[in-house]
Structure 1
Amino acid sequence: MQTRKYILPFLASVLLLSCKKFLDVEPQDAISDDNSAVITDKSSAETATRGLYRALSADAYYGSNFVSIGYLSGDNIVWTGSQSIIQQFISHNVRADNANIASAWSSIYATINRANHIIAKVPAVTDPLLTQQLKNQFTGEAYFVRALGYFDLARTWGGVQITLTPTITPADKYGIKRSSLDQTYNQVLSDLVAADSLLPTTTNRFRATQKTAWALRARYHLYRRQWADAETYATKVIADSANYKLVQPYSAFFANNATATSESVLELSYSATYTNSHRNSWQPPANGGTRQWAPNDAFLSLVNDPAIGGNRSALVAKTSAGLWYGNLYYRSPATDPAFVIRIAELWLIRAEARAQLNNLSGAISDLNAVRSRAGIPPSEAATQSALLLAIENERRLEFAFEGHRWYDLVRTNRAAAVLGVTDVNKQVLPIPAGEVLNDIDLEQNKGY
């Protein structure tokens, strides 16, 4: 057992050296948000809640690494850089010692642990300034973020270890067996139900509210193939048209330094001292980036076709030297938001759910709302199968550089036909090698 104590630090050192981004540290202004272990009053509860969103937006989670799994593993991106770990996603041959999956796994669990501290401690705090309303809000936000964390773990790795109480070190969860995929998803739903009952009914594009929980529930039910529930929860958000709508044109939610538009259900904010690391990998050297990956020829053909991509061609740009690059993340300094949920997703969730329920007229109406915003003609799909394919293709373009494409193809059993990933074992990622080596009770996924 003594040997195991030294494996994790050694592997961590190797992983840190293997990829430059892991040398980055959070700026000093992040330090005050890090301590979720000490929650004794209103001020420390607020600090812990700020830290919860800081963890969600970290480089290894929605700041880049986790989201990049979704777009690199799809069919829109070509690898142009020097890090072979990136090519593993594009070629669908991810190794268990891949540094990006190790950092994403650890970051998600660190975020869940922050949520656990808030859930366990905030309700018991005695401070007149920490009202019951604030207690409910902070605790509800923690339930929402924990639900998102387990949802992301489940769709990436399958059933995982579930920890619902605060821990001090990563080793504290050693010895916990992996739950099944159903059990993990059941935890997601349980947390979303709890969040729904506690969160405020207001609109906030940077923090979870009841409507944010409804949006994630719509996504959850889509993944679980619970079509009626997916339609119901998508409708609950879409119906709030005073606060959520498809902005015109497509680029209006991100161009010209836009933030918190009515397109956004939940986005994560960054600053000049706490930057979004997506930008560096997308922008070319001429713009101060590395262009580690870029839109591939197939995607460029689609997005630049006025009848298919329409005004979504704003997603790409070309240097004077003729290099195409993705332009969703473009700001300097890199204060680009990370988009967790957009209202366009709710429209396409409802379209897919309605198509599955054989409500073809309702489905095509929803699909065409998104197409109209993109400036392209209405869909001509006339059958259920044609409509589902049209929705799939629309999602490919609409969320091209967000973390959806890989997960969409896996959840619809289309990864084999579209990507050639016929080995079902490869449709989940390997548990990071360091985690398996350090915890004898953590079982590796089949095929790795």
Structure 2
Amino acid sequence: MRGSILYIFIIGLFICTLCGCEDVLNPKPNNILSAEIVLTSPDDVPQVRIGLYNALRSTAALSVVAGDLTADLVVHNGTFTVYNELSNKRIPSTNEAAAEFWRTIYNVVYITNFIEERLPGLAGVPTVEKNRLMAEARLLRGYVYFIGANTFGGIPLVTTTDVETNSNIGRSSKEEILAFALENITQSIGGLPDSSTIGAGYANKYVARALLARYYLYQGDWVQAEQFATQVINSGQYQLEPSFSTIVTKDFTRESILEVGYGATDDPGSDTYSLNNLFVGRREVIPANSFLLKIINNESGDRNLTVSFDVRNQRGNDNGFSVAKYGTSDADNNNIVLFRLAEMYLIRAEARARQGKLTGAGGAIADINVLRTRAKANTITSSNQSDILTAIENERLYELAFEGHRWYDLVRTQRANAVMTTFSSNWKDTYTVWPVPQIEIQRNPALRGHQNPGY
């Protein structure tokens, strides 16, 4: 019975995440009560774990929305205001995607805090199982705080499930949030398994190392970014798919490090933030012509399979192209990849290039050409550092398109204004971070007067 109650609680929390029906920083007391009642037996632990990963899953589509719709990959083609604001670069503090992303981030935080508070005192749970769940929770909390800090800047540092505390908590600095995220990620490694026997749907030590590689890349710590990317590449746990088309058409590929999965019965196909609904079903946004000019040429190789063309869609301002990566609930490509091996090669290439390691077996060019050879594109031969860094920026655009990286890449490399002012006359420096959602400011007195500049 307790397991059933917790399952209802977790599914309810997940549905609320999708619908935006709950303020997670100030959760309703009955949710707290449900959590306290149900985590009283070892039988409850598996359902708490499911709830943790469900909460992570609710962040995935929104990380793609933030990473690619704020950037120069797409233009608006539909009727939803939320996407019009993002793709046309007129983003207000009332943008619904910003509010939903904030909520989903704190769902993961809240469940992790719940686990930290209740799991240590729960008798009958084997130490290995307890340590693993704690490690998974801290890793995922570190991940969402990392994403949150790079999306919104400074955000509240929430470390409890106490309602009164969470109802009035101010913003910590971006640096403080990132430091807490790093602490969580590094703490998690000791409790995680070396590999996951059930594939890329759950975390292991190499998921943590892949996140650390990305973390240090964003921080400009090239030595550590190279080190952790190399650990993942050399682990032997993951292999590049021989054909890039597999990345577009298949779930849980051999190079997937962590991805969130959907099945025929739980894919949110009609939800506002479903990627298939966004990119294919409604075609709310379509690939921008400037992006198409880059991706559909010999330079990108097979990465042009990321988009598809149907002449029947070509009318008015519609160029007829769609994003091809995200299928319907009964397709084999409806998952969202959070980390895959190709990104590790790109992280290592950039880290090496920044350190002046350009040529030879341990140089940036070798890593770039691994992916270009897979994509059937011409290999890179230039040994000029500036040219190589430009090539890496383009490779990240080709290889990782519509996986949620582009905006974050432009911001972290301080290229956002140069690229985005060319793309849109509405772009302004304000949009290098998203706004603190207005609804959160209204709910939380400690956030009032602390909006990001320009919103």
Q: TM > 0.5 between the two?
A: yes
CA distance in 2, matches of 1:167, 1:386: 52
Taking structure 1 as the reference length, what is the TM-score of the superposition?
0.86
> Shift of the alpha carbon at 1:319?
2.1
CA distance in 2, matches of 1:24, 1:280: 21
CA distance in 1, matches of 2:42, 2:115: 12
Match of 1:299 among 291, 295, 298: 291
Residue ranges of structure 2 left out of the alignment (5+ in a row): 1-15, 23-32, 269-273, 315-319
Q: Write out per-residue CA displacement over residues 47-98 of structure 1, whole angstroms, 9 at most, x where no aligned residue.
A: 111111111112xx21x23321111111111110111221222233310011
Q: Write out per-residue CA displacement over residues 184-213 of structure 1, whole angstroms, 9 at most, x where no aligned residue.
A: 100010001110111111134111111100
1:332/1:206 CA distance change after superposition, 3 Å: closer
Residue 120 of structure 2 aligns to a residue in which SS?
A: helix
Q: Give the letter for the 1:118 counterpart.
A: I
| Equivalent residues in 2 for 1:69-108, closer than 5 Å | 69-108=66-105
CA distance in 1, matches of 2:44, 2:329: 33
* Number of residues of Structure 1 aligned to a counterpart in Structure 2: 405
Residue 201 of structure 2 aligns to a residue in which SS?
A: coil
| Aligned twin of 1:439 | 444
| Aligned twin of 1:248 | 242
Contact 1:381/1:390 (<8 A) preserved: no
Q: Write out per-residue CA displacement over residues 154-177 of structure 1, whole angstroms, 9 at most, x where no aligned residue.
A: 000111110112245xx7513222
CA distance in 2, matches of 1:222, 1:422: 25
Match of 1:222 among 213, 217, 220: 217
Match of 1:345 among 331, 343, 346: 343
| Aligned twin of 2:8 | none
| Aligned twin of 1:359 | 357
1:23/1:151 CA distance change after superposition, 3 Å: closer
> Shift of the alpha carbon at 1:135?
0.6
| Equivalent residues in 2 for 1:274-313, closer than 5 Å | 274-276=266-268, 277-283=274-280, 289-305=281-297, 307-313=298-304
Q: Give the letter for the 1:444 counterpart.
A: Q
CA distance in 1, matches of 2:94, 2:263: 32
1:445/1:211 CA distance change after superposition, 3 Å: same
Q: Is the aligned partner of 1:138 residue 2:124?
A: no
Residue 160 of structure 2 aligns to a residue in which SS?
A: coil
1:24/1:39 CA distance change after superposition, 3 Å: closer
Match of 1:66 among 57, 63, 67: 63
CA distance in 1, matches of 2:112, 2:324: 33
Contact 2:248/2:324 (<8 A) preserved: no
CA distance in 2, matches of 1:197, 1:414: 37
Residue 252 of structure 1 aligns to a residue in which SS?
A: helix
CA distance in 2, matches of 1:344, 1:318: 25
> Shift of the alpha carbon at 1:24?
11
Match of 2:147 among 131, 145, 152: 152
Match of 1:121 among 118, 123, 144: 118
| Equivalent residues in 2 for 1:384-395, closer than 5 Å | 384-395=385-396
Contact 2:279/2:285 (<8 A) preserved: yes
Q: Write out per-residue CA displacement over residues 4-34 of structure 1, whole angstroms, 9 at most, x where no aligned residue.
A: xxxxxxxxxxxx9xxxx84999xxxxxxxx9
CA distance in 2, matches of 1:324, 1:165: 46
1:402/1:167 CA distance change after superposition, 3 Å: farther
Contact 1:35/1:51 (<8 A) preserved: no
Q: Write out per-residue CA displacement over residues 194-251 of structure 1, whole angstroms, 9 at most, x where no aligned residue.
A: 101111111341111111000000000011111101001001100023x212112112
> Shift of the alpha carbon at 1:413?
0.2
CA distance in 2, matches of 1:431, 1:344: 32
1:381/1:79 CA distance change after superposition, 3 Å: farther
CA distance in 1, matches of 2:132, 2:432: 36
> Shift of the alpha carbon at 1:124?
2.0
Identity, in percent, stands at: 34
| Aligned twin of 2:271 | none
Residue 161 of structure 1 aligns to a residue in which SS?
A: coil
CA distance in 1, matches of 2:386, 2:122: 54
| Aligned twin of 1:176 | 169
CA distance in 2, matches of 1:292, 1:348: 30
